Amino acid sequence: MPPPSDIVKVAIEWPGANAQLIEIDQKKPLTSIIREVCDGWSLSNPEYYALRYADGPQLYITEQTRGEIKNGTILRLTISPSRAARQLLERIQSSSMDARLEALKELAKLSADITFATEFTNMEGISVLTRLVESGTNKTSSCGEMLAFTLTAFLELMDHGIVSWEMISLPFIKQIAGYVNHTMADASILQRSLAILESMVLNSQTLYLKVAEEITVGQLIAHLQVSNQEIQTYAIALINALFLKAPEDKRQEEHVNTLDLPLTEMANVLAQKHLRSIILNHIIRGNSPIKTEMAHQLYVLQVLTFNLLEERMMTKMDPSDQAQRDIIFELRRIAFDAESDPNSSTEKRKAMYTKDYKMLGFTNHVNPAMDFTQTPPGMLALDNMLYLAKVHQDTYIRIVLENSSREDKHECPFGRSAIELTRMLCEILQVGELPNEGRNDYHPMFFTHDRSFEEFFCVGIQLLNKTWKEMRATAEDFNKVMQVVKEQITRALSSKPNSLDQFKSKLRSLSYSEILRLRQSERMSQDDFQSPPIV
């Protein structure tokens, strides 16, 4: 008698008959068990049959998966995967529209099963489906349901990875793109078409190029303005996929009118004001709560947007580049509104520059360009400083002059702080890292401004200056201050502020004394005060 662990008690159904309650010996071949079940109902040709789960996805049971059968499971005797595949292949090519629709409906459900999918694919079933789509026979509204099931089955079959996406023809791509570009397309057809195009792009660089020639951002933006969140999600997923696969040079180019350009020619698509404001107004601030998959796509979009900064972050300053050095001169000019006397001697000018660069808080007073040779943050730090000086000039001048008038030991070095803060913000936002499949922690406030990273920096540098004063810090405390600022920023971000103003408001409530209080409170709650030595 087999040990109890090898015996599984199940019920097996067959249409029009009473269920059989049997004990499956997991040591016996599956073919033997199917033969016994067929004998119980006097069914001949047991090789024509297989077992499937009666509930859930109703997957076929194979020798590889039979170990997952649990006691009390309800199974169903059904025709084998190969016979099912052959029959469905014949029926989807039937001249009867009703028969074809029923077959495609069943195919869409069965295609999720890898066992069936393998059999169907081996019979050239995918080619039959692509020809159905290419022929355009399903364009009429009466055939919309049929087309939707065809596309569902196609996507399910391709997702198993049994055949390469490279086999997809250009007429098929054009047909699918046509459904996306057609503003009146049926919602179910549009969803599946967007999903198919996304899979093509993610699975093949060749197909990426072909898809990008057929789809424009303007058309995808139109799908972001509908009330159906699933369509919005698929549209953003396709934008993300196209952007993820775009060659580096295509991502960084600037174009005046991006809405009518193919995505291959579009640079910085994610930073376009039109796209950002539509996402903000129609999705983030829309009427529907954000679902998990949408949150993930928004997170991916956020990551890809910030990854545009990677090139500047990893670019060292060239101290011999006059244009780059002019930016430092500009920072000095804005801060002190000083033009050097052209009649003064070289030595006198150098001494004045050195004094000013020290007041600006650079580590290298003689040649501050050397401060930007470390990557990260490289030239990105200088970009941020120039943005602050030009866009928030009063704030910039106040920070610089306030610190240059303090006692030497208590001054907060602006230059060094800006460089370290930029590095920290890149670390917090994981600039340069690929999106994580399981994450969905996007931040609404980053969709509220065209220059969100620069604005994030401007808020951060004011916070750093404030925290420095609260801590009564000196140069020796620099790293300690940076740790507190990082904690203030990450705590404020975790509250998911909806705007930069909400973010600033949250930071105001996270003063240095509040951070100390929170740390103490968290330490107290983590300690085990019931341990024997304490008791």
**CA distances, 9 to each of 35, 266, 307, 429 (Å):** 17, 60, 55, 53
CA proximity to 458, closest of 411, 503, 506: 503
Q: What angle do CA 224, 231, 110 make, to 5 degrees?
A: 165
Backbone angles phi, psi at 78, to 5 degrees: -145, 170
**CA distances, 468 to each of 50, 479, 485, 498 (Å):** 72, 11, 9, 27
Positive or negative: CA dihedral 272, 277, 282, 283: positive
The pLDDT profile of the chain, 535 residues, written as one tens digit per residue, is: 555 678 999 999 999 999 999 999 999 999 999 999 999 999 999 999 999 999 988 899 999 999 999 999 999 999 999 999 999 999 999 989 999 999 999 999 999 999 999 999 999 999 999 999 998 755 444 468 999 999 999 999 999 999 999 999 999 999 999 999 987 779 999 999 999 999 999 999 999 999 999 997 778 998 999 999 999 999 999 999 998 988 765 555 433 334 444 443 444 454 455 889 999 999 999 888 999 999 999 999 999 999 999 999 999 999 899 999 999 999 999 998 755 555 566 777 778 888 899 899 999 989 999 999 999 999 999 999 999 999 999 999 999 998 877 666 778 999 999 999 999 999 999 999 999 998 999 999 999 999 999 999 999 999 999 999 999 999 999 999 999 999 999 999 999 999 999 999 999 999 999 999 999 988 887 765 556 665 5
DSSP 369: G
Q: How many helices and strands, by DSSP H and E, does the chain display?
A: 24, 4
Domain limits, the chain: 7-79, 82-307, 314-523
Instruction: Provide CATH code, domain 82-307.
Output: 1.25.10.10
Contact 104, 138 (CB under 8 A): no
How far apart CA 219 and CA 258 sit, in angstroms, is: 11
How many C-beta neighbours within 10 Å does residue 122 have? 12
The CATH number for 7-79, chosen from 3.40.50.720, 3.10.20.90, 3.90.1310.10, 1.10.390.10, is: 3.10.20.90
